[in-house]
A and B are shown apart, each in its own frame.
Chain A
C-alpha cells in the first residue's frame, strides 16, 4: 500500500493520476490538507496537516489502519516563501513527523523529493555534481536549509541495517507546460534579471520525466540518493532566449540590493541569495539514477525548456486558459 504525503503538490497530483491508471496498483492513500484533483477510484484521501502538533499521531493511525508499507513524501514547497516559519514547520518538522510515524508502524520504504539546488552554486563545484558531493547550499536560506535538514533526517531513518529502503530523488529544476514554481515564474518575466559577466550552465528537467522518476522509485527498491537530471546543459542566457525573454544583466552588488528590495516587496520570486545560481554552476550528474534506478529521461534540457516556452506562449496569447497547477 502506497501513501503519498503532500498529495496536492505538483508531483503528488500527477503521481496519483498516473498510479490511478496503473492496473498494477489497487489502492492508494493521499494525505494532504485538500484532496488532490486526480484522486478518482483507487485513492483514499485523508486530511492531514503536517504543521499541526497531532500530525504524527494521526499519521501513525492512518499508516497502521491501512497497513501502509511505502510512503512517498512530497510535502515540500516548490518555491521560496516569505512565511519561513511555516515552511520550517512543514518541511523540517513535518518530515520528522512523517519519519516518526513510519518508525512506529511497519513502513519499510520511503521515497522523498529533494532538489539538486541543495548542492549550492559555487565556483568550486565540479561541472557534474555526484550524489557523494556534500550539500553546500546556503544554510541562511530557509528554503534550502529546511530541505537539507529533512534530507538528513531521512538518511538517518534509512541507515543500513534497519531493513528500510529510503530513496531520495534530487530533481534538477523542473519546467514544463503545466508546472508552476519559482523557476518557471522567473523565466516568465519580460525582462529576466541576470548577473553581468556570468552565464552559468543550468539543467532543466521536464515535468513528465520527474514524475516518471518517482514512479520508478516506487516500483523498484533502490535505496540511496539519486540525482534525477536530463541530458544536456544550457547556459542561462540561452535558456532565457529560448523562453523568448530578454535578459537584463545587472552588476552583482547592485543586483543584490535591488533583488533584496523586490523580495521584501514580494515582487521577486526568490530572495537575493539565489543570485548564486545565476552566477555559478550547479549541475548534477544523473548517471547513478540511470544505472541503478533505470531512469532514462525523455527530454533534454533544451527540449524541456522549449516545451515550457510553447505553453507559456499560448498562455500569453490567451489560447491556453488552464491555470498552472
Chain B
C-alpha cells in the first residue's frame, strides 16, 4: 500500500472520476495479485490448476496497468468532470459529461442531451471502459475456475473464503453505480433534461403552449363540431409532410378562422398536421387577446417568422387580406379584398413551398359588420370598433358569434416548382401569381356560396 503513495499524490490534481477508477483498478489488481501469490502457497496439491489463473492474472495485469497509465495521461487534455471555462472547446464538447458532480449545474438537470451528447465524449474513454470490461470478464472466468474446485479442497479454508468475500467488491468497484444510472435512458427520461422539460410548463419558440392549448382544446372542438358544424372538403390536398402554405379568405370581425383551420387540420387531416397561422400586427398590441392567440398557435405575420416556420417544414396558414378582410362590411361578404403586396407568394417562392388555396364559407356571417367606428377606435388602439346587429347593443355578449354552418374547402395546390427562389424579386411575376391564387379562392368562394342552401344549416 505504501508503495503506491507517489501515484496517489499525482492523482490528486486530477478530476474525481478517473482518479477513483484508477484507484479501483489499482486495488483490484493488487488484491488479485496478492490472492494469486497466496494461492500457490496454500495448495501445493493442485499446482497445475492454480498456475493457470496465476498466469492469466499476470497477463491481464498488463492491460490494467496500461489503462491506469492512459487515465493518468488523459485528463491533462480533457477533464470530463470539472467545468473548465478556459478551454472553450472542452466547455462545449464536455457539456454532456458534466453530470451530477459539477458545481455550476443544478443537480437535477442532467447534462446528457440525448440528441448530441455522447459521441464526442465517449470515444476517448471507450477503450478504457472496454479494457475494464474485458478485465472484469476475465476476472469472472478466473473466479469461476478458481472457485469451483473450492468445495473439493475444504482444508484450504482461508483462500476460498477470501476469494468469495472478494468477489462482490471487485465486481462493483470499476464503475460507480450512479454513473451507470445517469447514462441510462430511464434517467434521462425521468430526471434529465427531457424529464424536466416534459413535466413543466414550457412554450415552443413561437410561444405555443402545449399545456395551455390542450386545456383549451375541448372548447375549440366544441366550436368546431357542434357550434359551427364545420364540413371540410378536399383536405387531402394538403401534403402529409413537408412545408406548405394554406392561403385563405379572412372574415368575421372576431377572427376565429385561424383557430378553426388549426382544429380542422388536427381533427380531419389523415396525418393530423399541426398548423400555425399568421396573425395581424394589431392583435399583439392588445392585452389578453394577443397572449391568448399566441399561446394557442398564432404567430405575428412577418417574413422572418414565416420563413423560420417553413424552414422547419411546418404547415402555415396565411390570410393575405389581413385587416382588410376582417373589417369587410356585411354587404361586401365573400368578396376578396386586395392581397397585400404578395408577401406570401414571395415567401413560397423563396422557401419553395406549395400554396393550397382555401375558402372558408360561413365565417362571414358570424358577426355581420354593419358599420365601423374608426375615430373612437384609435383612442383604444384598435383598428376599428365593430357595430354588428348585436354588439354595442348587448354589450360584450353581443360579440358571441352567430352559429352559422361553416364549410372549409381546399383547392388544388398551386405549384411554384417552375420558378426558382430568385423569382421572388420579380414584382410582375409575384403580382401575377398572387392574382392567380386570389382568383382561385374567389372562384371557390363563389361556388361554395352558390351551393349553400342555408346560412344556418349549410
Of A197, A215, A306, which is within 8 A of B85 by CB?
A215
Of B91, B193, B207, which is within 8 A of A212 by CB?
B91
Q: Is residue A160 within 8 Å, beta carbon to beta carbon, of the partner chain?
A: no
Q: Is residue B330 within 8 Å, beta carbon to beta carbon, of the partner chain?
A: no
Distance of A319 from chain B, by nearest CB (Å): 15
Contacting residues, chain A, for B193 (C-beta < 8 A) = 300, 303
In the complex, the answer to whether B304 meets A233 with C-beta atoms within 8 Å is no
Distance of B159 from chain A, by nearest CB (Å): 51
In the complex, the answer to whether A130 meets B284 with C-beta atoms within 8 Å is no
Bound Cα distance from A294 to B93, whole angstroms: 12
Contacting residues, chain B, for A215 (C-beta < 8 A) = 85-86, 88
In the complex, the answer to whether A126 meets B88 with C-beta atoms within 8 Å is no
Q: Is residue A22 within 8 Å, beta carbon to beta carbon, of the partner chain?
A: yes
Binary contact readout B300-323 vs A (1 if CB under 8 angstroms, 0 otherwise): 101111001000000000000000
By the criterion of a CB under 8 Å from any partner CB, how many residues of chain B are at the interface? 38
Q: Is residue A289 within 8 Å, beta carbon to beta carbon, of the partner chain?
A: no
Nearest-CB residue, chain B, relative to A303: B109
List residues of B (80-104) whose CB comes within 8 Å of A's CBs.
Answer: 83-88, 91-92, 95, 104
In the complex, the answer to whether A235 meets B207 with C-beta atoms within 8 Å is yes
Q: Is residue B49 within 8 Å, beta carbon to beta carbon, of the partner chain?
A: no
In the complex, the answer to whether B88 meets A219 with C-beta atoms within 8 Å is yes
With contact pairs A233-B207, A302-B200, A303-B106 given, residues A212 and B304 touching in the complex (Cβ less than 8 Å): no
Query: Counting chain B CB atoms within 10 Å of each CB, which of A126, A177, A219, A280 scores highest?
Result: A126
Of A22, A130, A197, A296, which is within 8 A of B92 by CB?
A296
In the complex, the answer to whether A196 meets B287 with C-beta atoms within 8 Å is yes
Interface residues on A, range: 35 or more
Q: Is residue B202 within 8 Å, beta carbon to beta carbon, of the partner chain?
A: yes
In the complex, the answer to whether B285 meets A130 with C-beta atoms within 8 Å is no
List residues of B (13-41) whose CB comes within 8 Å of A's CBs.
Answer: none
Binary contact readout A284-319 vs B (1 if CB under 8 angstroms, 0 otherwise): 000000000010101010110011001000000000
Binary contact readout A224-252 vs B (1 if CB under 8 angstroms, 0 otherwise): 00000000111100100000000000001
In the complex, the answer to whether B305 meets A22 with C-beta atoms within 8 Å is no
With contact pairs A212-B85, A232-B202, A235-B209 given, residues A307 and B91 touching in the complex (Cβ less than 8 Å): no
Binary contact readout B189-212 vs A (1 if CB under 8 angstroms, 0 otherwise): 000010001001111011101000
In the complex, the answer to whether A127 meets B300 with C-beta atoms within 8 Å is yes
Nearest-CB residue, chain A, relative to B202: A302
In the complex, the answer to whether A298 meets B281 with C-beta atoms within 8 Å is no
In the complex, the answer to whether A208 meets B202 with C-beta atoms within 8 Å is no
In the complex, the answer to whether A198 meets B287 with C-beta atoms within 8 Å is yes
Of A130, A212, A232, A302, which is within 8 A of B205 by CB?
A232
Contacting residues, chain B, for A280 (C-beta < 8 A) = 284
Bound Cα distance from A130 to B307, whole angstroms: 12
Of A21, A208, A235, A307, which is within 8 A of B203 by CB?
A235
With contact pairs A235-B203, A302-B202 given, residues A123 and B281 touching in the complex (Cβ less than 8 Å): yes
With contact pairs A198-B287, A303-B106 given, residues A212 and B209 touching in the complex (Cβ less than 8 Å): no
Q: Is residue A53 within 8 Å, beta carbon to beta carbon, of the partner chain?
A: no
Q: Is residue B299 within 8 Å, beta carbon to beta carbon, of the partner chain?
A: yes
Of A20, A127, A130, A307, which is within 8 A of B207 by CB?
A127
With contact pairs A212-B85, A280-B284, A307-B104 given, residues A126 and B203 touching in the complex (Cβ less than 8 Å): no
In the complex, the answer to whether B91 meets A201 with C-beta atoms within 8 Å is no
Nearest-CB residue, chain A, relative to B204: A233
In the complex, the answer to whether B290 meets A21 with C-beta atoms within 8 Å is no
In the complex, the answer to whether A233 meets B291 with C-beta atoms within 8 Å is no
Which B residues are closer than 8 A to A by beta carbons?
A: 83-88, 91-92, 95, 104-106, 109, 193, 197, 200-203, 205-207, 209, 281, 284-288, 290-291, 299-300, 302-305, 308
Can you list the 10 inter-chain pairs with the closest CB atoms, starting with the nearest? A197-B287, A126-B304, A123-B284, A22-B86, A21-B86, A197-B288, A18-B85, A199-B291, A126-B302, A123-B285
